[in-house]
Structure 1
Amino acid sequence: MTRCGALAVEARFAHTRRQSSQRSLQVTETSSLAIPAFAAPTLPVADGNTQFPVRRVFCVGRNYAAHAREMGADPQAEPPFFFMKPATAVQHHGRIAYPTRTEDYHHEVELVVALSNGGRDIPVVAALDRVFGYGVGLDLTRRDVQAALKKSGKSWEMGKCADQSAPVSAITPVATCGHPASGAIRLTVNDRIVQQGDLADMILDVPHIIAELSTWFELMPGDLIFTGTPEGVGPLQRGDHLLAEVSGLARLELELV
């Protein structure tokens, strides 16, 4: 065998060994799981061809002064705060179920930020560089459960974390919509406007939200941030048709069943 022939044979053997090693690694990784692997929730990107994978869902509470006041808080004395929902609460267009353990399920329409990059202690001036795009979402809330837990001094996460309680529209990339700092945000239920405001009324704007949140968590690609709701929150009923809108972004349409 010539030297060139020997090298060709060795190259084929090396390729075969690499393939075998890769197959072995895949089998090992799969077989080491106690249950079948599951995929991350995804949201469509408004270009219609790609999906945005969702890692975590962060929410800002009382980020509009009028909403803080309608909830009995003083926006001057009590600044916005953060909480989380499970990523599995994310839902897109279609029908969503009225949850169990509540008779007072409330709507809260919000601008949603989708991150393409993250980090810790992100400077305000660099925060928007982390944004992939924006959507409109609903932070649906078991208000009676939340109120009872607050009154008893307990954590009220069960009021916020129902299945399908974080529906979000398709994500519009920054290249298409820019970074909306003002513009109408609105929720219509059964053709009646129930919430209406302007993004400019947020107490913390998007750069400051990202910067502050990154001091608590290392933000990561795939994270969503619900940025707070304007005034007008209220109860929903089975059979309601919801249309959530933010100027310049894809709309969110749902039916509650």
Structure 2
Amino acid sequence: MKKQSIPGLSHLQFRNIFCIGRNYVEHAQELQNEVPAQPLVFLKPTSSIIFDGDAIHIPPQSKNVHHEVELAVAIDKAGKNIPKEKVLEHIGGYGIGIDVTARDIQQKAKDKGHPWSVAKGFDTFAPLSTFVKKNQIANPQNIDLHLTVNGETRQSDNTKLMIFSVADLIHYLSTIFTLQPGDIILTGTPKGVSPIVSGDTIEASLDSGLTTLSVTVE
């Protein structure tokens, strides 16, 4: 995608999308994965970003595409080796994201020890809501995440269940990458991931509607 401002944080333009895998114990268990000892990091391309009212396109290469609702964090200040106690200074705001995953492609990659980039990176595989400024959320480790498919609740949990907190993640990422304004961190999904198919409507919310996201599936 061409450079685009982050909805709700118009002074920032999208840069990198850093994603965290297996950051909730019960989600790791539901996919029969080990709980990681340190954050499991992968990236999505900016071409995968869509917004409220847009559509996820099921690629012909996959027969099993899943939703994964996540807290999204927008970086507003560059930093390297950021101390955990200074993390809040680098956050611009929070949003709701859906890490769309071609689960069958991912499983084949995992079985061979290959990267997950294809399974996670198709166009439209990163729906993002409008972001709210950080001062609207007192504690990122006490945020309700909720996702429905066709009105049926599929995922509903709280960020207090994260294995690695937002502070942990930003500190860790900044020891590897220099974080830049406009970087997005998708912080992992709780239990309840499940398939989506053409014709579905997906609705996600952060903290009982502080910000919402609605997309269809084609």
Q: TM-score, normalised by structure 1?
A: 0.80
Please list, as runs of the form range in 1=range in 2, the aligned pairs for 1:2-81 lying within 5 A after superposition.
39-45=2-8, 50=10, 52-75=12-35, 78-81=37-40
Matches of 2:159 and 2:72 in 1, distance apart? Answer: 11
Residue identity opposite 2:58 in structure 1: Y
User: Residues 19 and 185 of structure 2 are in contact (CA less than 8 Å); yes or no, is this contact kept in structure 1?
Assistant: yes
Residue identity opposite 2:90 in structure 1: R
RMSD, aligned CA:
1.6
Matches of 1:165 and 1:231 in 2, distance apart? Answer: 19
Greater strand proportion = 2
- Structure 1 residue corresponding to 2:89, chosen from 121, 124, 129: 129
Equivalent residue number for residue 83 of structure 1: 42
Please list, as runs of the form range in 1=range in 2, the aligned pairs for 1:151-190 lying within 5 A after superposition.
151-190=111-150
| 1:256 matched to 2:195 | no
User: Residues 63 and 202 of structure 1 are in contact (CA less than 8 Å); yes or no, is this contact kept in structure 2?
Assistant: yes
- Cα distance, 1:51 vs. partner? 6.0
Could you report, residue by residue, the CA deviation over 1:216-248 in whole angstroms, capped at 9, with x for unpaired residues? Answer: 100000000000000011100101001111106
User: Residues 74 and 182 of structure 2 are in contact (CA less than 8 Å); yes or no, is this contact kept in structure 1?
Assistant: yes
Matches of 1:88 and 1:179 in 2, distance apart? Answer: 30
| 1:216 matched to 2:176 | yes
- Cα distance, 1:154 vs. partner? 1.9
Matches of 1:173 and 1:218 in 2, distance apart? Answer: 22
Matches of 1:197 and 1:153 in 2, distance apart? Answer: 30
Matches of 1:182 and 1:142 in 2, distance apart? Answer: 29
Could you report, residue by residue, the CA deviation over 1:41-98 in whole angstroms, capped at 9, with x for unpaired residues? Answer: 333107xxx46410110001100010011111232x6443111001121111123222
| 1:92 matched to 2:51 | yes
- Cα distance, 1:113 vs. partner? 0.1
Residue identity opposite 1:181 in structure 2: Q
Matches of 1:256 and 1:194 in 2, distance apart? Answer: 16
Greater helix proportion = 1
- Cα distance, 1:213 vs. partner? 0.4
Unaligned runs of 5+ in 1: 1-37
| 1:101 matched to 2:64 | no
Query: Cα distance 1:231–1:136, how it changes in 2: closer, same or farther (>3 A)?
Result: same
Q: Across the two proteins, how many residue pairs are aligned to each other?
A: 216
Unaligned runs of 5+ in 2: none
Q: Percent identity?
A: 36
Matches of 2:82 and 2:11 in 1, distance apart? Answer: 26
Q: TM-score, normalised by structure 2?
A: 0.94
